[in-house]
Structure 1
Amino acid sequence: MAEQQHSERGTAKLGVLRAMLGFLKPYRWQVIGASVALICTAGITLSIGQGLRLLVDNGFSSNASEAALNQALVLFFALVLLLATGTFVRFYLVSWIGERVSADLRKAVFAHVVTLHPGFFESQLSGDIQSRITTDTSLLQTVIGSSVSIALRNALMFVGGLIWLFISNPKLTALVMLSVPLVIVPILVFGRRVRRLSRSSQDKIASVGSFVGEAVKNIKLLQAFNHQTLDRKAFDGHVEVAFDVAIVRIKQRAWLSTVVIVLVLGAVTGMLWVGGHDVLAGRISGGELAAFIFYAVMVAASVGAISEVYGDLQRAAGATERLLELLAAENRILPPAAPAHLPVPVRGDIDFRSVSFAYASRPEHPAISNVSLQVPAGSSLALVGSSGAGKSTLIDLLLRFYDVSDGAICFDGVDIRNLDPDELRANIAMVPQQPVLFTGSVADNIRYGRPDASDAEIASAAKAAFAHEFIERLPEGYQSFVGEGGVRLSGGQRQRVAIARAILADPKLLLLDEATSALDAESEYQVQQALERLMEGRTTVVIAHRLATVINVDRIAVLENGELVASGRHSELLVQSPLYARWASLQFDDANNQAASAASES
């Protein structure tokens, strides 16, 4: 088991490395430039040790001349200028690469996420996905643009410093080398723990973000139920859990730094003791000891710096794994290798042929069982049934958000599984029960139906949706900001903007999810007028919760527990379907009783 886990960790590391190399490949010249600058600055820094030796032996010794001192100082300052120039180039290029790779990775993840089938998001929190795209990529940018450079530079300084140490004094170097294994072991041990805890910490922070997003999005409901105190306590719990995990990670890093400092500087202290006695005995010069101390401190500092950034590198590895999980998420709804095409012109004929379907999360409970329905082009079909009957599932299958388990759905005689989903959906528009508006202007939301539409076409669609009048009264007309989710508009206004969007899309197939069920009488009348105009000449499938809204459709399909139990016109179903007749009796009798009661009170 342990060997298997070790193998899996090794495979994961290779996967992370390959992925990052793939994102770095387009910027190979910048990487080469940064590498050259890195090597040059490391070499110059190492050369300063020799400059220091010359300065002590030739410039500060009792028999040194003023000219020799000046020459040594000029050489030393020249090295400093070269080091500053190389550091500028290295810092700029490395930071640029970090920002560029982070941006590319963020775009790649988002581009992939928006193509994933809706079933993927049933098991993924939106806040967690947002955290991965924002927080994790920002962490990665910091590490690539800083920590990786620090680690590589200090690795070069470590190797170069050791080489100069051996050249300067092998005996003293042996003392320094004794500490190397003692330092590497804790780095490896603590590093594994830091990586594991970093991944856990990032997951906990994502949970905090999800909780905040959910609370802010539903702030009215939260306050309406006086849930502020309970939500504060729950949020405090999430934050404290994230804090506790972070503190454990910080302790591991703190112990790592402490152990490294004690071991490395302890070895340097021993080296100074031996070297000092050698200088007093005349076995080495003061300049040689100064250079040796310089390189020893450099090696010690390099090991310390590597141990510091090792934790950051482990955090970056955890962040990269989370991002790669999103990039590796499989899209189950893909276009076929050789997609078929809809006939021209597109008519909008729909045929459900013995369709069955079960959600992956509930495979033993079919959501749809052997449903067969035909919707001729230009006609209307209403889907009625109790909650969980399968109405919304049929709409999702028609949009090919999921693929049927058995049977087929045909659009103009073509199985939709043989179509490119983009071509299929280009001929469909949907008006949901709860209209979805995006942050932006009214015009932006209507143009969502057809991005290349002109302002005149947007206004024409709004007029057809009976929305033009109220839009014109807004402070900035069509450029008025609607707020997050359209919060600045009323329910009826949001619904008419959604209808205008569908009109602008000019679909052959229209999907309506009882768009008037949550509106007042005046708004319902206006929206109903807009819907009737939208339905003209189009195939329409309506999810109906109130039978009064679908009395005049061409056909009504009665669903119960995912099965089609009856179909026909309203008058026919009142006779043929006891279930439908009972619903009609409950709804229409209740409406008549309410009307009679209102008349008697007046």
Structure 2
Amino acid sequence: MSQPTNDLYGNVVWSSIQYLFVVGILQAFCVLIQYYAFDTSGRRQTNRIRNNLFRAMLQCNVTYFDENQTGRLNSKLFENIEIVGKGIGLDLAQILRSLGKLASSICVAFYGSWQIALIMTYTIPLVIVTGKLFSKAITKETFNEFNAYSKAGHIAQEVFSSVRTVLSFNGAKFAHQQYTQKLEGCQRSSIKKGFVYGLFRGWMYFNLYLTYAVGFLCGLLLMNAKKNLVSLVDILVVVLAFARGIAAFRLVGIFIQSSAEACGAATPAWDFLDNVEAGKSIETGIFEDNNKEKKTSINGNIRFDKVTFTYPTRPDVCVLQNMSLLARAGETTAIVGASGSGKSTLISLLLRFYESTSGQIVINGQSLSNYSVAELRQNIGVVNQEPTLFDTTIYENIRFGKKDASKIEIEEAARLANAHDFIMRLPEKYETVVGERGAQLSGGEKQRIVLARALVKQPQLLLFDEVTSALDRKNEKIVQEALDQACKDRTTIVIAHRLRTIQNANQIYVLDNGTLIEQGTHETLMVIDGGKYQAMFRAQQTKETVYDNDDEMVNKLPEKQLPTTNIDEHPETIFADAKLESLNYVESSVTSQRSIIWRLISMNKLQWIPILIGGLACTCIGAVEPTFAVALSFIINESDNNDFSSSHIDYVRDCLSV
């Protein structure tokens, strides 16, 4: 690069230009490093926090999920942590850069004139102390805002998950009122936070221009006292450098809100992690235990010995009272009774979701507490009344029961569960995505896949909790055949509502209000006159006779009045319809996006008064900088006046106008 020969560019000016060019390149490189490093660090820390939270949640006892709302858990795990990631990522980088600018500006100011700079340092502790107070207030209101949003989110999730029930009872208006009420709490916290943040920003602007005024007034006094003590250049260097530092700290205020929000969002997450660490749940070691090969056998008798239990969430209700029963190895044991009699609670105690209040459970001669949670559950297969499937393929849903299962093992488990044939009729076979909670499958198909998932790990103990109670007669028969086949040569405990499904059980226990009232086989219980089991069985027989008569009437209807599509016979139709609906939705979404801006404007038409007031305030704030430039030019003009003593009144006026 050749140096210009024009006299306008002297050596000093040219050197300054080269210096600024080099500084600009270095700054661009440093900014690149800053954004890359802090964004990468923030993302990694966010993922690590999420992993730790999710791991801690999986280590919680079932009691924790009984006491806490799922909407709050999702908010804590995902939404709040994203705010934390922003606060510890790029916003933290901006804060550090602004603090560095403040430190360097103070150094330059002291180099220019330490007398003026020393006087102006009063603003630093003032800004720091007030910034700390404002940050604390913003953090508090942010925490309240997130807490209110999590409550609103829980209501929305609960309504959408049970939308048919809500609509059938005309509960949409009531649900909307509840959601609106929770949002009003969010709005109040948000308004308070915005008000505090506005005060903080206004206070920082006031300190910035106060710094200008104090700096120039100090320069006036020093120049008036001694002509050669400071010059106009010294005053400009000190004041502008110091003001740049205060302006940098003002930029810190912009990101203090983000940091305060990050602190408010992180508070419940840290409290949760600390509580899990201090609680030492029995689930804590399950991650380590799952990685070990298990050789423990639980293929023995299962005995409940005077077990008493109350749920932690209902300590005043005794669910099981002095319960004693025996499930022999290799046999099928059935447990029946009315709703609320404690049947499902026995399953939960066997899986160690809860610990019994008193008494003990013995498996194969050892207390249940001697088995680790991982080795116990690895040897138990569970099928519940409500089948739970994940929004993935059938193959992955079955493999969830045994992560290292081969394709042959998965297909064998599906055959054992009477599921292989209908799976092979699907378009994608085992790679068919079942949808959210298995929405693309019928109830019987879902139950058979869940049964295959329980059988794929070849469990020694099977637990069936009212598996067929929600199925129609046709699907019940198919599923029951699969259950009977799966129970061969295995210890099986069946919780049954339909008593005809457990007539062949080796032992039947009848519960009532948490106590054992009858036991025996189906034949021995049926001969007990006035017995509970006998009454329940005969009542169900009467209902089933009525239903059978209804089925016969349906069979007599003309063919054209009957539905012609059966998902069991044509499972591929529902998936084809789903794809068509998806394409139609995409097409309609593209069209609707064209008018979304106008819709947003129309939604805010009732807020025109606060928007107008805010717009006027923004205009006034924008006019401050040009006004300051005019005032600064007057100050420089008065300072450069040779007859300074005659113009000091105008100088003071200009300083105060700043």
Structure-1-length-normalised TM-score: 0.84
Given the alignment of the two structures, is residue 69 of structure 1 paired with residue 19 of structure 2, yes or no? no
Q: Which residue of 1 aligns with 2:250?
A: 304
Contact map agreement 2:95 2:252 (CA 8 A) in 1: yes
1:393 aligns with 2:345: yes
Residue of structure 2 equivalent to 1:295: 241
Deviation at 1:343, TM superposition (A): 7.6
After superposition, what is the alpha-carbon deviation per residue over 1:175-209, rounded to whole angstroms, capped at 9, x for unaligned?
42233344334323222211111111111222232
Of stretches 512-521 and 228-237 in structure 1, the one that deviates more from structure 2 is 228-237
Whether 2:59 is the aligned partner of 1:106: answer no
- 2: distance between equivalents of 1:485 and 1:119? 23
Tell me which residue corresponds to 1:245.
189
Task: Confirm whether residue 93 of structure 1 aligns to residue 93 of structure 2.
Answer: no
Shift of 1:277: 7.5
- Alignment of structure 1 residues 366-445 onto 2, 5 Å: 366-445=318-397
* SS of residue paired to 2:501: helix
State the SS of the aligned residue for 1:505. Answer: coil
Counterpart pick for 1:476 among 423, 428, 431: 428
For 1:237 and 1:346, the matched residues in 2 are separated by 52
Structure 1 residue corresponding to 2:281, chosen from 332, 336, 354 = 332
Change (3 A) 1:336 1:381: same
Q: Which amino acid aligns with 1:112?
A: A
C-alpha displacement of 1:324: 1.4
- Structure 2: which amino acid aligns with 1:591? E
Bigger shift: residues 417-426 or 148-157: 148-157
Does the CA-based 8 Å contact 1:355-1:405 persist in structure 2?
A: yes
The residue identity in structure 1 corresponding to 2:501 is T
Residue aligned with 2:201, SS: helix
Distance across 2 between alignment mates of 1:597 and 1:195: 64
Contiguous gaps of at least 5 residues in structure 2: 1-6, 557-658
Counterpart secondary structure, 1:111: helix
Q: Aligned in 2, Cα 1:336/1:291: closer, same or farther, shift over 3 Å? A: closer
Partner of 2:203: 259
Q: Using the TM superposition, give the Cα deviation of residue 594 of structure 1 relative to its aligned residue in structure 2, in angstroms.
A: 5.5
Tell me if the contact between 2:510 and 2:519 (Cα under 8 Å) persists in the aligned partners. yes
Provide closer, same or farther for how the CA distance between residues 109 and 382 of structure 1 changes in structure 2, counting only shifts above 3 A: same
1:529 aligns with 2:478: no
What's the CA shift for 1:143? 0.8
Q: Tell me, what secondary structure is at the counterpart of 1:377? A: coil
| Aligned 8 A contact 1:336 1:419 in 2 | no
Q: Residue 107 of structure 2 aligns to which amino acid in structure 1?
A: I
5+ long unaligned stretches in structure 1: 1-62
Q: Which residue, out of 488, 507, 520, partners 2:472?
A: 520
- Residues 284, 517 of structure 1: CA spacing in aligned structure 2 closer, same or farther, 3 A cutoff? same
- Equivalent of residue 230 in structure 2, options 276, 284, 298: 284
- Contact 1:342/1:414, CA 8 A, preserved across alignment: no
**1:540 has 2:489 as partner:** no
Partner of 2:597: none
Q: Can you list the C-alpha shifts for 1:503-534, whole angstroms capped at 9, x where unaligned?
A: 21211111111211111221111111111111
- Amino acid across the alignment from 2:464: L
Answer yes or no: is 1:509 the counterpart of 2:453: no
- Bigger Rg, which one: 2
Rate the CA distance shift 1:418–1:134 in 2: closer, same or farther, 3 A: same
Task: Say which SS state the counterpart of residue 136 (structure 1) adopts.
Answer: helix
Q: 1:321 aligns with which of 264, 267, 285?
A: 267
Distance 2:340 2:496 in 1: 13
User: Quick check: 1:235 aligned with 2:179?
Assistant: yes
Identity, in percent, stands at: 28
What is the CA–CA distance in structure 2 between the aligned matches of 1:248 and 1:499, rounded to whole Å? 53
* Alpha-carbon contact 1:343-1:412 (below 8 Å) kept: no
1:418-467 CA deviation, whole Å, 9 max, x = no partner? 11100000010111111000110111111111122222222222222121
Normalising by the residue count of structure 2, what TM-score does the alignment of the two structures yield? Answer: 0.77
Contact 1:336 1:418 (8 Å CA) reproduced? no
Residue 68 of structure 2 corresponds to 124
Cα deviation, residue 598, structure 1: 7.6
Residue in structure 2 matched with residue 16 of structure 1 by the alignment: none
d(CA) in 1 for partners of 2:253, 2:351: 53
Q: Which residue of 2 aligns with 1:59?
A: none
The corresponding residue for 1:154 is 98
Seen in structure 2, the aligned counterparts of structure 1 residues 500 and 260 have a Cα distance that, compared at 3 Å, is same
1:392 maps to a residue whose letter is S
Deviates more, 1:587-596 or 1:514-523: 587-596
Greater CA drift, 129-138 or 580-589: 580-589
In the aligned structure 1, how far is the partner of 2:280 from the partner of 2:524? Answer: 43
State the Cα distance separating 1:246 from its structure 2 match. Answer: 1.2
Q: Structure 1 residues 286 and 79, CA, compared in 2 at 3 Å: closer, same or farther?
A: farther
Over 3 Å counting, the alpha-carbon distance change for 1:575 and 1:415 in structure 2 is same
Q: 1:75 to 1:480 in 2, by over 3 A?
A: same
Report if aligned partners of 2:143, 2:264 keep a CA contact under 8 Å in 1: yes
- For 2:541, the equivalent position in structure 1 comes to 588
Query: C-alpha root-mean-square deviation of aligned residues, in Å?
Result: 2.8
Residue 363 of structure 1 corresponds to which residue in structure 2?
A: 315
1:369 Cα offset (Å):
1.4
How far is the alpha carbon of 1:596 from its aligned partner? 6.9
Secondary structure of the 1:565 match is strand
Q: Is the 8 A contact 2:61 2:281 kept in 1?
A: yes
For residue 300 of structure 1, what is the amino acid of its counterpart? I
CA distance in 2, matches of 1:596, 1:78: 93
